[in-house]
Amino acid sequence: MLKRLDVKKALLGVAVAVLASGGAQPVSAQTRTISDPVGDVRFNAPPFQDIVIAQVTKTERGGFRLVMGMGGPVPGAPPRPRPGVNEIWWVWGFDLDSTTFPRGYPFTPTPAGEVRVEFVVYVGWDGTEFAANAIDRRPLLTGGEAIITPVPFSINGTMVEVDLGTVMGDVPPGAVWNVVTFDWSGPVGSEGANVVDGVDHLEVVP
C-alpha cells in the first residue's frame, strides 16, 4: 500500500507540474481538477487507461481546455487490451442539466443508453488512428440526433489534451463534469461501452 501511495504522489506531482506549465491558462479559479487512485482499473487494463488526474480550464475566450493524466504513457499505437475490443476512449462527460437523461448516441438508444451527461468529449483509438470528437446529446431529448464535432487534440506521454473551444456553448450554473475510460466491445452506439476506469467524483464546470 505504501508503495502504491508513493507512486501516486509521484505521478500526481508530475501531472500537476505538466498541467500548470501547459499552454492555455494558469491554474486558477477558472480551473477545476480531480484526481483518482493509481491501479484501480478494471479488466487488468494497461496504465495508459488508468486515470490519475483530470482538469477542465475555462479559457480567456470562453472556451474550454480539457486534460487527462494517465498512469502510464499513451503509446503511438495502443494495443487493444482484450479480445473483442473495437475502440479505446478517453472521455470527459458534462452534465449540463441534472433533470434530464438523454438516451442514445454514443450509447444505445434503448433504456440502457439513458445517461445523464448531455455533452461528451472523447479522444478515441480504433486500432488504426486517433480521433477526437465533441458529442452534443441535447438534441436527443427532443427526438433529434446527436451533433458530432471534431475537435483538436494532442497526446504527449501520459497527458491527453483536447481544445474544446466554444463548441459546448454557454454552460449553466451548477453544471458538473467527470472523466472515464472506455473499452468498446461492440460498435460505438451499441451496449458495448465497458468502463475501465472512472473518477468517483463530480466537479463543477469552471
Indicate which CATH number applies to the domain containing 130. 2.60.40
Using alpha carbons, list the distances in angstroms from residue 109 to 5, 9, 195, 198: 41, 41, 18, 23
Number of domains in the chain: 1
User: Is pLDDT at 10 greater than 90 in this prediction?
Assistant: no
Mean pLDDT along residues 71-94: 90
The residue ranking higher by pLDDT, 131 or 8, is 131
Q: Model confidence at 29, in pLDDT bands (50, 70, 90)?
A: low
Q: Model confidence at 3, in pLDDT bands (50, 70, 90)?
A: very low
CB atoms within 10 A of CB 24: 17
pLDDT at 85: 84
User: Is pLDDT at 14 greater than 70 in this prediction?
Assistant: no
CA neighbours closer than 13 Å in the CB half-sphere of residue 12? 13
Domain containing residue 188: 2-204
CB atoms within 10 A of CB 13: 10
pLDDT > 90 in the chain, percent:
71
